[in-house]
Amino acid sequence: MNREIRKVKVIFIVLVLLSLLSCAANKEPLVPREMSLKVLQFNIWQEGTIVEGGFDAIINEVIRTEADLITLSEVRNYNGTSLDKRLVAALKAKGYVYYSKRSEDSGILSRFPIKEQSVISSLVDDHGSITKALIDVHGTEVVLYSAHLDYLNYSVYLPRGYDGLTWKELPAPITDTQVLAENNLKSRRDEEIDAFISDSKIEKGKGRLIILGGDFNEASHLDWTEATKNSYDHHGVVMKWRNTLELENAGFKDTYREVFPNPVTHPGFTFPADNPAVKVNQLAWAPKADERDRIDYIFYYPDSRLKIEAAKIVGPQGSVVRYQRVPETSEDIFDLPAGIWPTDHKAVLATFTLTVKQ
Under the banding of pLDDT at 50, 70 and 90, the label for residue 23 is very low
Encode burial over 78-94: b for 16+ CB neighbours within 10 A, e otherwise.
Answer: eeeeebbebbbebbeee
Q: Rg of the Cα trace of the chain?
A: 24
Is residue 3 very low, low, confident or very high in pLDDT (cuts 50, 70, 90)?
low
**Mean pLDDT over residues 144-155, rounded?**
98
Report residue 197's pLDDT band, with 50, 70 and 90 as the boundaries: very high
Using 50, 70 and 90 to split pLDDT, how confident is the model at 80?
confident
Half-sphere exposure of 112 (CA within 13 A, CB side): 20
What is the pLDDT of the chain when averaged over all its residues?
93
Whole-angstrom Cα distance, residue 330 to residue 226?
Answer: 18
Question: For 329-348, what is the mean pLDDT?
Answer: 97
| pLDDT tens digits for range 279-330 | 999 999 999 999 999 999 999 999 999 999 999 999 999 999 999 999 999 9
What share of the chain has pLDDT > 90, as a percent? 90
Question: Is the pLDDT score of 70 beyond 60?
Answer: yes
Give Cα 176 to chain centroid, integer Å. Answer: 30
Backbone torsions φ then ψ of 251, nearest 5 degrees: 100, 0
Q: How many angstroms separate the first and last alpha carbons of the chain?
A: 50
Residue 1 is predicted with a pLDDT of: 47
Using 50, 70 and 90 to split pLDDT, how confident is the model at 11? low
Give the model's pLDDT for residue 29.
Answer: 56
Average pLDDT over residues 16-24: 51
358 or 10, higher pLDDT: 358
Q: Judge contact between 208 and 142, C-beta under 8 A.
A: yes
Q: What is the Cα–Cα distance from 228 to 264, expressed in whole angstroms?
A: 7
Q: Please give the Cα distance from 45 to 30 (Å, whole number).
A: 43
Angle between helices 83-93 and 54-65 (to 10 degrees): 60
Phi, psi of 140 (to 5 degrees): -100, 130
Query: Do 297 and 244 form a contact (C-beta atoms < 8 A)?
Result: yes
In terms of Cα–Cα distance, which of 319, 215, 208, 302 is closest to 255?
302
Q: What percent of the chain has pLDDT over 70?
A: 91
What band does 79 get if pLDDT is binned at 50, 70 and 90? confident
277, exposed or middle or buried, with CB in 10 Å at 0-12, 13-18, 19+?
A: middle
Closest C-alpha to 222, from 165, 299, 151: 299
| Cis geometry, peptide bond prior to residue 267 (ω within 30 degrees of 0) | no
Provide the 3-class DSSP secondary structure of residue 42: strand
Q: What is the sign, positive or negative, of the torsion defined by CA atoms of 57, 210, 266, 192?
A: positive
Residue 191's CB is within 10 A of a number of other CB atoms, namely 15
pLDDT bracket for residue 6 (50, 70, 90): low
| CATH class of residue range 35-356 | alpha beta
Dist CA 280 CA 295 (whole Å):
19
**Residue 357 Cα to chain centre, angstroms:** 25
Chain mean position to CA 252: 13
Taking residues 164-190, what's their average pLDDT?
A: 98
- According to the model, what pLDDT value does residue 32 have? 81
From 14-23, 39-48, 63-72, 328-337, the region with the lowest mean pLDDT: 14-23
Listed by start position, the domains of the chain span 35-356
**How many other CB atoms sit within 10 Å of the CB of residue 21?**
10
222-235 pLDDT per residue, tens: 999 999 999 999 99
Cβ(98)–Cβ(112) under 8 Å? Answer: no
- Output the pTM of the full model: 0.91
What letters, b where the CB count within 10 A reaches 16 and e where it falls short, cover 22-54?
Answer: eeeeeeeeeeeeeeebbbbbbbbbbbbebbeeb
Q: Residue 171: is the preceding peptide bond cis (ω within 30°)?
A: no
pLDDT at 196 over 50: yes
| pLDDT tens string 99-111 | 999 999 999 999 9
Q: Can you give the pLDDT at residue 14? A: 46
